[in-house]
């Protein structure tokens, strides 16, 4: 089965072709970073317009790279939420129209399901069940994953998501957009331990997170008299270390609590090198394993959407939208069901 995947929930336009027999055959992403950089963040209306401009070209490019004709497709999967409403509508509109024109199912996919299943695309894929740590710009969640569509929320951020905290802190440190990767890069050149930043909810008995206080603590440091900008790299390192410490401790607690030994890390913050190093080290000591998506599939892409669509299709899911364009800008992952 050949499934075309379309991702347009935020500031990346992604298209990919996943073939259940031959794997990932084509995969194109267009990032809108340059478009939004001047504004210091994503401008939703500009994002939607750019998705409209890019999607038809990317579909053509992906099919050409995969050496596949439109009429060979068995389904079109698209991100139906969560995300920016206007941006989601573009992908949903294209996917549902293609589905109708080709008379194949159009499958609405949850963006985070795409992220959390994406490590299964790697050569060394984890088996179910596992714990998923989802760390993106909009979400920080620990889920227990028993199979496709069987997700139980164990804990989540009560305020800012980890990626959001990285982005906002980067902004107040005067770094450009996108802030997360820039802050991480700067942190590599600094020395952590100088500023005693808090570790929010590190010792709470639950598996929830809170990151907005950490951002405020950074703001307090840079607004204090005597602050010197040459300490920015050290402050960045301290901030990164505080976030990583909390993410590692809660992920280990989730594994311990459920008795599982496999942890899957997905979402943009999963690209963070410190997070990876410290999770790997902590897991190694206990004989547990941590799985990540291929580096290019950590941030938003169409491959994870095509793949989630293919898994759902294979498990018997049918499209029931009748060409109706449905999006869910807010859509809790735990509401998803097993394919029927
Ligand atoms: O999953 P993603 O591409 O988009 C969402 O669905 O949100 O994640 C983007 C988030 C942004 O907040 C970005 O700053 C963060 O992931 N991010 C990072 C790194 N790379 C991306 N945060 C920390 N360290 C990184 N290396
Ligand atoms: Zn994402």
Q: Which residues contact 80 (CB under 8 A, 6 or more apart)?
A: 88, 92, 108, 109, 110, 326, 327, 328, 331
Q: How far is the CA of 299 from the centre of ligand 1 (A)?
A: 7
Q: Indicate if ligand 1 lies below 6 Å from the C-beta of 14.
A: no
**Smallest Cα–Cα separation from 78: which of 105, 108, 103, 53?**
108
CA atoms of 27 and 66, how far apart (whole Å): 8
CA atoms of 89 and 87, how far apart (whole Å): 5
Per-position pLDDT tens, the chain of length 340: 999 999 999 999 999 999 999 999 999 999 999 999 999 889 999 999 999 999 999 999 999 999 999 999 999 999 999 999 999 999 999 999 999 999 999 999 999 999 999 999 999 999 999 999 999 999 999 999 999 999 999 999 999 999 999 999 999 999 988 899 999 999 999 999 999 999 999 999 999 999 999 999 999 999 999 999 999 999 999 999 999 999 999 999 999 999 999 999 999 999 999 999 999 999 999 999 999 999 899 999 999 999 999 999 999 998 776 778 889 999 999 999 998 7
Distance of alpha carbon 62 from the chain centroid: 21
Site to probe by mutation for ligand 1, drawn from 117, 299, 300 as the one with most ligand atoms within 8 Å of Cβ, is 299
Query: Could you tell me where the beta strands, DSSP code E, fall in the chain?
Result: 2-7, 12-19, 23-31, 75-81, 106-110, 130-135, 140-147, 150-156, 262-266, 289-291
Please report how the helices 212-223 and 162-172 are oriented relative to each other, as an axis angle in degrees rounded to 10. 10
**Residue the block writes with tokens 């206080």:** 213
Q: Indicate if ligand 1 lies below 6 Å from the C-beta of 299.
A: yes
Smallest-distance ligand from the CA of 113:
2
Domains of the chain: 2-116+297-335 (3.30.420.40), 127-292 (3.30.420.40)
Structure pTM?
0.94
CA atoms of 140 and 167, how far apart (whole Å): 14
Whole-number pLDDT of residue 239 = 98
Nearest CA to ligand 1 atom 21: 268
């Amino acid at each position: 089965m050949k499934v075309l995947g379309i991702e347009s929930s935020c500031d990346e336009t992604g298209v990919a072709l996943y073939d259940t027999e031959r794997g990932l055959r084509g995969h194109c992403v267009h990032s809108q970073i340059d478009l939004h950089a001047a504004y210091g963040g994503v401008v939703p209306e500009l994002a939607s317009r750019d998705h409209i401009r890019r999607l038809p070209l990317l579909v053509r490019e992906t099919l050409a790279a995969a050496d596949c004709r439109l009429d060979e497709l068995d389904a079109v999967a698209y991100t139906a939420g969560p995300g920016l409403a206007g941006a989601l509508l573009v992908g949903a509109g294209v996917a549902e129209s293609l589905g109708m024109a080709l008379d194949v199912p159009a499958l609405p996919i949850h963006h985070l399901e795409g992220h959390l299943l994406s490590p299964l695309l790697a050569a060394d894929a984890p088996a179910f069940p596992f714990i998923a740590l989802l760390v993106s710009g909009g979400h920080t969640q620990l889920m227990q994953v028993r199979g496709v569509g069987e997700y139980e929320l164990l804990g989540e951020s009560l305020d800012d998501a980890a990626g959001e905290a990285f982005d906002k802190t980067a902004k107040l440190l005067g770094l450009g957009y996108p802030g997360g990767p820039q802050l991480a890069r700067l942190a590599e050149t600094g020395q952590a331990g100088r500023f005693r930043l808090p570790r929010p909810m590190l010792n709470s008995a639950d598996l929830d997170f809170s990151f907005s206080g950490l951002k405020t603590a950074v703001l307090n440091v840079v607004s204090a008299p005597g602050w010197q900008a040459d300490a920015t790299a050290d402050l960045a390192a301290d901030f990164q270390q505080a976030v990583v410490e909390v993410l590692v401790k809660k992920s280990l607690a989730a594994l311990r609590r459920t008795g599982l030994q496999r942890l899957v890390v997905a979402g943009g913050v999963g690209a963070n090198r410190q997070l990876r190093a410290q999770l790997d080290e902590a897991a190694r000591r206990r004989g547990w394993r941590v799985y990540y998506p291929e580096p290019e599939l950590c941030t938003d892409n169409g491959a994870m959407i095509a793949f989630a669509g293919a898994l759902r299709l294979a498990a018997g899911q049918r499209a029931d939208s009748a060409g109706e364009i449905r999006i869910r800008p807010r859509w809790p992952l735990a509401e998803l069901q097993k394919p029927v």
